[in-house]
Structure 1
Amino acid sequence: MEHITLSGHSGAFRMTAEAKLLLVAYLSDARSAVEQSPDGDETVRDIETSIGDRLRDILDGDASIIDETVITRIIADAGPVQGESSPDSGRVPWLCRVEQGKWFGGLCLGLATRSSLRTDWVRTIAILFLFLTGGLLGIAYLIALIFVPRMETVEQYKAAIAWSKQAVRS
């Protein structure tokens, strides 16, 4: 019989050696999967707390020791831990400036890429609105150049958008 302590729980959990090996392997795989994420440590703590809550419920019932079948069921319910697969490991902003192929700043190119419109149409509409607003759009454009993040290529931005949409679906 072995004992293991988990984050968020003050006491140790009694379990068989096989159950402890399964749990330690699962948590080790979880750490490896999220080690590049800035929130990786917090994610592993949350997983440990969740598993500990389930184990506490089982031990508060009529079980006195946790065996490998219980751990296997808990791990299966939790599922595999997957790290972020984005090269930047971050959320994709709604709008980016695109450097390759830009005319002035790359905002119209980024907006065209994001909205799947032709770049020349977006640029034409932007120039039209620049005159219709008496230059206010130009001021907003210059302010946006300061705050909107930039991407190097249209392909890089399209890949980031596709990754973001896929991550939202799963």
Structure 2
Amino acid sequence: MVSKRISTQMVAGTQQRLARFFSALRAVLLKGTQPMLCENHYLPCEWVVMEHSTDRTELAGERTDLAEDRTVLANERTFAGWMRTGLAAVGIGLGFNALFGKMEPTWLPKAIASCFIVSGMVIFYLAERNSCSVLERLDAHSVQPLRRMNLRLVASLMGIGSAVLMGGMWFLL
């Protein structure tokens, strides 16, 4: 099994080297110059020099751009996770009030439920603040990030909805 894996890797490596050689050879021939092979390389000399100088810099820049894009997308997933956590806290508060609302004294279940709802509202605020600060520091390249205004709008609506729920719980029930 190990020998098959090694031979497969060797064949793949050889195929990659041959593909690079022929693409470099074609590029050199299209320029009208004679290809001159360097020592210890299967590539024309001018292609090897280009690979070590500008190509690495360009590839490093592309990798950095892709890393920033992945960070932007991870930030959006993190924001969604924080919002889910805040909604869970609000749901626990609402459920607690529904289950223990008939308990005496009547203000105690409402107070405990209010603590959960307020903690959900704090989580909404912190999620928006954290996500917007990350978006300010990053520059998206090939992805379209959520606008900061949309993040603020979602977090504000969740907070206002939680406040209305808590007010209804205290004054209507």
Fold conserved (TM > 0.5)? no
Greater share of residues in strand: 1
Normalized against structure 2, the TM-score is what?
Answer: 0.30
More helix by share: 2
TM-score (norm 1): 0.30
- Between Structure 1 and Structure 2, whose CA radius of gyration is higher? 2
